[in-house]
Structure 1
Amino acid sequence: MPEPTAHHVGITVSDLDRAVAFYTDTFDLDVIAEFNVGGEAFGDAVDVDGATGSFAHLDAGGARIELVEYDPEATRGEQPELNRPGAVHVGLSVDDIDAFYGGLDDGVETLSRPRTTESGTRILFVRDPEGNLIEVLEP
């Protein structure tokens, strides 16, 4: 069997334009690709009859973040919590977490102010406009 390599981290959103604006404005990520996918093979692959997807790939310095808006959109479940099995988050590192925190727009929701963990890593969790969790860390 061929060895897998990481390609991207995917985040499903309800408003692709709003999500792209958040990730490019808040984290200064560059959009490296935008495309749409549909057709029978795509619907079969994602197990959603008649599905189409609008995608944006963002460069996160060695990692690719894929934002995707689906049609049809499923009903929203509970808001993701970190301690719920199956919860996911994206981790992005910064050189100065206090400066990053101080520069956040007032509308960006955070779980707390930056904190230093027992391991010495400084962390901060923010939510994107969809409620998805992003860990910002200063190693």
Structure 2
Amino acid sequence: MKRVSIFLFAIFLTTIAFAQEPLVNGVDSVGLTVSDMDRSVDFFSKILTFEKTSDIEVAGEQYEHLEGIFGLRMRIVRMKLGEESIELTQYIAPEGRPIPADFRSNDRWFQHIAIIVSDMDKAYAWLRQNKVRHASSGPQLLPAWNKNAGGISAFYFKDPDGHALEILHFPAGKGNPKWQKSSDKLFLGIDHTAIVISDTDQSLKFYRDLLGFKVAGQSENYGVEQEHLNNVFGAHLHITAIRAASGPGIEFLEYLAPRDGRPMPADEKANDLIHWQTRLTTNDVDVAWKQLLAIDQFVSSGAVTLPDHTIGFSKGLLVRDPDGHVMELVQ
């Protein structure tokens, strides 16, 4: 898989003519590939209280061109928590590869969704009661000296396939004000999806300068709490939060230390279980295709027109960011 250098991004971004409006106007949902749909739906609905909103099965040439997988048949389930949605995809054919057993939180294919909870102690007790697999050693309260992150509590765990998930609790005065509203629910919604990256500046050239996201905040996190949250000894992260006009945010996790995280496998495919794809809405996929041509990091064969709106959009494309994370632009 090709990786785009900072130099090439700079050349491209100085010559492109940008529209007045951002290329991306919202984050619609976060998608992940699963091996057993019924098991995953049970997990997200019964443990995390997501609600299933659609359940479809598709096959055909247009979907093969969109996903870059020949001979596919997909079952796609959309689920909602609060105002945010995830999309689970099982490749009935062809099946992909499992998540590597030695997967670590600083590997650059890492991605998770941050699920906001109203009470961290109750949420952790519920997850323990349901025997979820830990990724963190336990919930971590980030230290008060960290101006931007102090007082936030977080815990990483795994779904049945081994995908990383996070529960997160914001103290008063931090996070989106909607998370501070009184609620009788334990699991409230999705604040963001986080991705491990190799270089913040390079990622900003893609997400901010090209796609039109805005930087919403930054912090530098380290110490024993961060190490135990990520389960990575010596973890020292530069974190950047970005947002579009609507939907959950995207969070960059750049590991300043240790720097031994593995890159996205060059042969990663949409049917592999390490695959996530974040759906972004745009006014014109053809315009997006033309603006993204210079970086040539497409998963799709082009801007693909679908036979109908069965999967929620009429035209779309999949493209990789500088570290190989997949964004799905749709209209």
Alignment match, 2:94: 72
Contact 2:114 2:168 in 1 (8 A): yes
Confirm whether residue 97 of structure 1 aligns to residue 120 of structure 2: yes
CA distance change for structure 1 residues 84 and 102 in 2, over 3 Å: closer, same or farther?
same
Matched position secondary structure for 1:6: strand
Q: Which amino acid aligns with 2:98?
A: R
Question: Deviations 1:83-131 (Å, cap 9, x if unpaired)?
Answer: 1113101110000011011122343111222110132111011100000
Alignment match, 1:110: 134
Question: Deviations 1:61-92 (Å, cap 9, x if unpaired)?
Answer: 12111011012111224244221113101110
Q: Which amino acid aligns with 2:168?
A: L
Give the TM-score of the pair, scaled to structure 1: 0.92
Alignment match, 2:71: 50
How many residues in Structure 1 have an aligned counterpart in Structure 2? 139
Aligned counterparts of 2:98 and 2:130: Cα–Cα separation in 1: 25
Q: 1:124 pairs with 144, 155, 158, which one?
A: 155
Give the TM-score of the pair, scaled to structure 2: 0.40
Structure 2 unaligned regions, length at least 5: 1-18, 144-149, 171-331
Q: 2:111 pairs with 66, 81, 88, which one?
A: 88
Alignment match, 1:137: 168
Aligned counterparts of 2:86 and 2:42: Cα–Cα separation in 1: 14
**In terms of mean alpha carbon deviation, does 102-111 or 17-26 score higher?**
102-111
Aligned counterparts of 2:99 and 2:49: Cα–Cα separation in 1: 29
Aligned counterparts of 1:84 and 1:28: Cα–Cα separation in 2: 29
Q: 2:47 pairs with 26, 32, 42, which one?
A: 26
| C-alpha displacement of 1:50 | 0.9
Q: Which amino acid aligns with 1:74?
A: G
| C-alpha displacement of 1:38 | 1.0
Q: Which amino acid aligns with 2:67?
A: V
Which of these two proteins has the greater Rg computed from alpha carbons? 2
Aligned counterparts of 1:89 and 1:57: Cα–Cα separation in 2: 17
Matched position secondary structure for 2:70: coil
Q: Which amino acid aligns with 1:64?
A: S
Aligned counterparts of 1:60 and 1:133: Cα–Cα separation in 2: 17
Matched-pair identity in %: 27
Misfit runs of 4+, over 4 Å: none
Q: Tell me how large the CA RMSD over aligned residues is.
A: 1.4
Q: Which amino acid aligns with 2:161?
A: E
Structure 1 unaligned regions, length at least 5: none
Contact 2:34 2:90 in 1 (8 A): yes
**In terms of mean alpha carbon deviation, does 13-22 or 31-40 score higher?**
31-40
